[in-house]
């Protein structure tokens, strides 16, 4: 999986495993690159009436443009039915809350978010 740069616009995420849904894709900063959180929808999206879903089956990718991302298992996390969530990985913690426009990696705000559900 990698982030494909696009000189005419936003980058794109390439190679997401088939059948997975992207919960978050955004740029942290030039030094840290991009972050993508993804997983199987049947295990990562809250069911009707649920407030949240545990994200034990999700993964997080971190990487620079046009290079393979490093993929980490999510140790623990939640995906909220109102949108957003948070994850803990060996690489670091990510929170993504679209309602209050708060997207952080280890407390560092994302420069830009391209996908969030």
**DSSP category for residue 91:** S
- How high is the pLDDT of residue 96? 97
CA angle 13, 14, 19 (to 5 degrees): 95
What domain range includes position 32? 2-116
Residues with Cβ within 8 Å of 73's Cβ and at least 6 positions away in sequence, in order, are: 59, 89, 90
Global pTM reads 0.94
CA dihedral (32, 67, 95, 106) positive or negative: negative
Condensed to tens digits (0 to 9), the pLDDT of residues 30-63 reads: 999 999 999 999 999 999 999 999 998 999 999 9
Q: Closest Cα to residue 104, out of 30, 21, 26, 52?
A: 26
The count of other CB atoms within 10 Å of the CB of residue 41 is: 12
- CB 77, CB 54: distance < 8 Å: yes
- Of 9 and 40, the one with more pLDDT: 40
- How high is the pLDDT of residue 9? 87
| Distance, CA of 84 to CA of 103 (rounded, Å) | 9
Residues with Cβ within 8 Å of 4's Cβ and at least 6 positions away in sequence, in order, are: 11, 12, 13, 14, 65, 66
Segment 77-95 mean pLDDT: 96
- How high is the pLDDT of residue 19? 96
Instruction: State the total domains in the chain.
Output: 1
Residues with Cβ within 8 Å of 52's Cβ and at least 6 positions away in sequence, in order, are: 46, 78, 79, 80, 81, 85
């Amino acid at each position: 999986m990698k982030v494909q740069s696009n000189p005419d616009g936003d980058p794109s995420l390439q190679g997401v495993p088939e059948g997975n849904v992207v919960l978050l894709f955004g740029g942290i900063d030039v030094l840290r690159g991009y972050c993508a959180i993804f997983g199987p929808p049947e295990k990562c999206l809250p069911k009707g009436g649920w407030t949240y879903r545990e994200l034990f089956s999700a993964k997080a990718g971190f990487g620079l443009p046009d290079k393979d991302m490093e993929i980490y298992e999510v140790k623990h996390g939640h995906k909220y039915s109102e949108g957003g969530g948070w994850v803990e990985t060996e690489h670091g913690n990510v929170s993504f809350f679209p309602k209050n426009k708060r997207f952080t990696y280890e407390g560092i705000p994302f420069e830009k978010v391209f996908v969030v559900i």
